[in-house]
């Protein structure tokens, strides 16, 4: 039997079995030669959580075969260090990222759309469909299912740790450094369409009488036809976004979150 040494750094340890966390390295035995991806995922860490791998001190691709005696160091996404061309999983993806979410993250999908991010979601998506959409449209998969992120078709994704939707939003903003990329109230919450400003006279018959009297600015979703205006609930939404951005930024003061609705 052959053996390689494996070490995980920083928050990747949170995904390991308890007895292997925060070790300076531990052995992994094998009969059939694995790839780096195989070895890493055998320990419960999806390859999408990995930004950099070193094998015997040299940068390595996830497809590299692991040999007897190899020492494999696995690093998470760097938030303060630019690893340049070594950050292969990000190559070719747009910024801000476009997301596709699994069926358990419906509220997070709504919050991401509220923040202005292109977010696909359906409670009918199967894992294979999610993986295909992500590959075809270069979308980032957000999920709480490690198995989904281990699929070969998923090249960029993130395992959401928090269970509370507001905390999940802050977590995603921090993970992808999106605090400054937010465009609140620019997308339709139910369907993800980009809102368009509409002349007041074209929507008057579709809004309550009180709103007709008090407001002059309206937006409409060209995809589903829903009409939006600045209602009393908008203040609560702005507060939610402000708190999420502040949490994502840590102790730094968060800029105001106003959005497109006046």
Overall average pLDDT of the 89-113 stretch? 87
**Residue 254 confidence (pLDDT):** 43
- Band (91; pLDDT cuts 50, 70, 90): low
For the chain, give the mean pLDDT.
Answer: 88
**Residue 204 confidence (pLDDT):** 73
- Band (94; pLDDT cuts 50, 70, 90): confident
**Residue 252 confidence (pLDDT):** 42
**Residue 79 confidence (pLDDT):** 57
**Residue 89 confidence (pLDDT):** 47
The answer, as to whether pTM is greater than 0.95, is: no
The closest alpha carbon to 246, from 187, 164, 166, belongs to: 166
- Percent with pLDDT over 70 in the chain: 88
Neighbours of 248 (CB within 10 A): 21
Neighbours of 200 (CB within 10 A): 13
**Residue 153 confidence (pLDDT):** 94
**Around 26, how many Cα atoms within 13 Å sit in the side-chain half-sphere?**
15
In this structure, what token pair is assigned to residue 107?
């509220």
Helix boundaries (H) for 30-159 = 36-41, 106-114, 127-137, 146-149
**Residue 86 confidence (pLDDT):** 44
Instruction: Report residue 7: phi and psi, to 5°.
Output: -135, 130
Overall average pLDDT of the 125-145 stretch? 96
- Percent with pLDDT over 90 in the chain: 75
- Residue 262 pLDDT greater than 70, yes or no: no
Better-scored residue on pLDDT, 78 or 67: 67
- Band (168; pLDDT cuts 50, 70, 90): very high
- Residue 253 pLDDT greater than 70, yes or no: no
- Band (198; pLDDT cuts 50, 70, 90): confident
Rounded to whole angstroms, the Cα distance separating 58 from 218 reads 56
């Amino acid at each position: 039997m052959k053996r390689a040494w494996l070490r995980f750094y920083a928050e990747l340890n949170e995904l390991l079995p308890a007895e292997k966390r925060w070790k300076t390295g531990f052995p992994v035995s094998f009969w059939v030669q694995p790839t780096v991806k195989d070895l890493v995922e055998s320990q419960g860490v999806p390859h999408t959580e990995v930004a950099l791998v070193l094998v015997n001190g040299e940068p390595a691709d996830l497809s590299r075969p692991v040999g007897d005696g190899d020492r494999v160091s696995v690093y998470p996404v760097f938030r303060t260090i630019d690893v340049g061309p070594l950050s292969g999983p990000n190559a070719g993806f747009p910024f801000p990222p476009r997301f596709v979410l699994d069926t358990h993250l419906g509220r997070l999908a709504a919050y991401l759309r509220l923040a202005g991010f292109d977010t696909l979601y359906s409670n009918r998506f199967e894992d294979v469909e999610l993986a295909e959409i992500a590959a075809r449209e270069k979308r980032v998969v957000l999920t709480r299912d490690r198995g989904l992120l281990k699929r070969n078709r998923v090249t960029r994704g993130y395992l959401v740790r928090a269970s509370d939707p507001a905390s999940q939003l802050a977590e995603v903003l921090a993970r992808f450094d999106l605090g400054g990329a937010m465009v609140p109230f620019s997308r339709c919450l139910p369907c993800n369409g980009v809102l368009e400003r509409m002349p007041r006279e074209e929507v008057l018959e579709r809004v309550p009488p009180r709103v007709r009297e008090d407001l002059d600015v309206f937006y409409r979703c060209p995809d589903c036809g829903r009409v939006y205006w600045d209602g009393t609930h908008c203040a609560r939404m702005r507060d939610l976004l402000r708190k999420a951005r502040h949490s994502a930024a840590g102790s730094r003061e968060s800029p105001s979150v106003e959005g497109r609705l006046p």
